[in-house]
Amino acid sequence: MSNKTNKDSDIQGLVRLITDATIGITALVEAMHQRILYPPFLPSTPIQHLLSKIASFTYHNIKWSTKQIGNGLDKILSPLHPMIREKGTSIEQETIRAVLNGVIGDYLDKTNNPLKIEMQLKHQEESLDLEAESPFASLNHITGNLILMIHGSCMNDLQWTRKEHNHGKAISKDLNSTVLYLHYNTGRHISTNGKALNLLLERLVQQWPVQIKSIKIIAHSMGGLVSRSACYYGQTDQKTWPSLVKKMVFLGSPHHGAPLERLGNYLDHILEAIPYAKPFARLGKIRSAGVTDLRFGNLIDEDWQNEDRFKNIHDQRKDIPLPQGIECFAIAAVLGKHNNLKSSSLIGDGLVHVNSALGKHKKSYKTLTFKEENIWIAYEQNHLDLLSHPETYDKIKTWLLDA
């Protein structure tokens, strides 16, 4: 796809997003108006009903007009697209798009908004089109040993490069392997991405030009949950690719959820309970399915199907163990020093607690059985430091080296 085509799609996507946002805000104001017009616990009067009908008609017209203007803008902007200067997509643009997909990616996917990210494998920042006649023609280093890098929530494949370091590029040289990066919409359900990755990797191994000896996965944050979900569906469906995966390294993955999403859920519950604040609970519910999956670490469809994902419920996940036949490793980061582990564990890396990253749970049957020698705590590191810290890379390299 050309740069101009990308920009065309982005403009159309933004117009549609702004239109939808305006309609959503109008609905929020209307709901707040109704709350003020009809105070809780007090009887209504005829004049209130009349004002309510007038207001309802006005809000309806605003929403209808916004839709028409949005459709018109899309048509008006189309002839202007050739006037847009062609520039390569910047890292900043891709970062903003990744964050947008992380926050409302399920909505972008549902409405088929051009801003949505399609799942794809990339090599040296170039997408691999597995439907092309020669999908691997651009690869300059093809081996039978693959390294798959899977990014976290609200991120993209470019963000594996941090502080002039990239785990994938470094490990590719040190282990003489071919590195591929997954780029995906982190706002979709983790299980939806897991199933899609399962199918994508099966196609990859069927088409890879040389015999695959091993696949090793390095996954950061949510990427670890997507990896486990893909393995679950791959092994359940008896696909070929899981048998080729030898090792998986999880970097700060919230195997048992993240505290920020649980806090967000409690805030939803509080706002719903206050009559005048109830309309504002809609704002909290803007966050995506991918984000709400992080409350407990959902992996499969059954973890969220037939439930209101914003409802204040307890952990109802099925207990999914680490994938069979794959040696798994986990790194947890803490902001504090080694001599202050107890207090640091409560904070973790700023986003994920130590126990969650290491798969430990207060209920023993939910604990993931990492070998003791396969877990490591990275002190004085935050969630993003796991992408670039030299000590973290050395640990990853040591683990991935064949015995």
pLDDT band at 350 (very low <50, low <70, confident <90, very high): confident
Q: Which residue has the higher pLDDT, 165 or 283?
A: 165
Its pTM surpasses 0.75: yes
Spatial distance between the Cα atoms of 383 and 333, rounded to a whole number of angstroms: 7
- What's the pLDDT score for residue 77? 41
Q: Is the pLDDT of residue 135 over 60?
A: yes
- What's the pLDDT score for residue 89? 57
251-268 mean pLDDT: 73
Spatial distance between the Cα atoms of 31 and 280, rounded to a whole number of angstroms: 9
Q: Is the pLDDT of residue 271 over 90?
A: no
pLDDT band at 206 (very low <50, low <70, confident <90, very high): very high
Strands 165-166 and 178-183: unpaired
Q: Is the pLDDT of residue 173 over 70?
A: yes
pLDDT band at 16 (very low <50, low <70, confident <90, very high): low
Q: Is the pLDDT of residue 66 over 50?
A: no
157-180 mean pLDDT: 96
- What's the pLDDT score for residue 281? 44
365-389 mean pLDDT: 95
Q: Which residue has the higher pLDDT, 311 or 176?
A: 176
Closest CA to 321 of 231, 243, 188: 231
240-251 mean pLDDT: 98
Spatial distance between the Cα atoms of 111 and 18, rounded to a whole number of angstroms: 13
Q: Which residue has the higher pLDDT, 70 or 241?
A: 241
Q: Give the range among 198-202, 236-240, 269-273 with minimum mean pLDDT.
A: 269-273
Average pLDDT, the chain: 79
- What's the pLDDT score for residue 133? 87
Which residues touch 365 (CB under 8 Å, ≥6 apart)?
319
17-35 mean pLDDT: 47
Contact at 8 Å (CB) between 400 and 381? no
44-57 mean pLDDT: 49
Host H or E run for residue 293: helix 289-293
Host H or E run for residue 391: helix 390-400
Spatial distance between the Cα atoms of 139 and 170, rounded to a whole number of angstroms: 17
Q: Is the pLDDT of residue 276 over 90?
A: no
Spatial distance between the Cα atoms of 155 and 160, rounded to a whole number of angstroms: 9
65-92 mean pLDDT: 48
Residue 7 in tokens: 């920009």
How far apart, in Å, are the Cα atoms of 250 and each of 135, 308, 395? 29, 29, 12
Instruction: Strands of 151-282 (E only): list them.
Output: 161-162, 165-166, 178-183, 214-220, 245-251
- What's the pLDDT score for residue 279? 43
89-110 mean pLDDT: 83
Residue 212 in tokens: 């695959």
Spatial distance between the Cα atoms of 26 and 30, rounded to a whole number of angstroms: 6
Instruction: Strands of 161-204 (E only): list them.
Output: 161-162, 165-166, 178-183
User: What SS3 class is residue 199?
Assistant: helix
Contact at 8 Å (CB) between 378 and 333? yes
- What's the pLDDT score for residue 277? 42
pLDDT band at 347 (very low <50, low <70, confident <90, very high): confident
Q: Which residue has the higher pLDDT, 42 or 374?
A: 374
- What's the pLDDT score for residue 105? 87
How many contiguous H segments (helices) and E segments (strands) does the chain have?
A: 12, 10
Neighbours of 76 (CB within 10 A): 11
- What's the pLDDT score for residue 103? 81
Q: Is the pLDDT of residue 369 over 50?
A: yes
Residue 40 in tokens: 């809780």
Q: Is the pLDDT of residue 28 over 90?
A: no
253-281 mean pLDDT: 59
pLDDT band at 181 (very low <50, low <70, confident <90, very high): very high
Q: In terms of CATH, what superfamily is 120-257+318-400? A: Alpha/Beta hydrolase fold, catalytic domain (3.40.50.1820)
